[in-house]
Structure 1
């Protein structure tokens, strides 16, 4: 009986670790997409790479607005 209990606790622990990794990865992607990418693009804009940064900045802003609108529903 104790063996089954230990096996169950191990399986539960592994599932919690996998869930924590998935949640952390999702939060990191969202944080980088919403904060990191626009900061990099604004840095490119300030540095003078306007021909590269302007189209990427416009695409990123559109994507963020669509993503935030879709997240509401």
Structure 2
């Protein structure tokens, strides 16, 4: 992989830098088969709630609604 990155550097400068920066995570995936899918799912749910929550009066109401949405997603999504 590192040999290929050296050869690709002149042609794909930005991509090679990104791969080098994330190389530990990339290798970790192939060694342990772990991903950040759970975190991405949580972020997606919170973004959906944020889009649905315009008009909430304060941050506390948003926090309460986020917890409810997390524990009872089908009831609040309707």
TM over 0.5: no
Identify the structure with the greater helix proportion.
Answer: 1
| TM-score, with structure 1 as normaliser | 0.32
> How high is the TM-score relative to the length of structure 2?
0.31
RCO higher in structure (CA 8 A, sep ≥6):
1
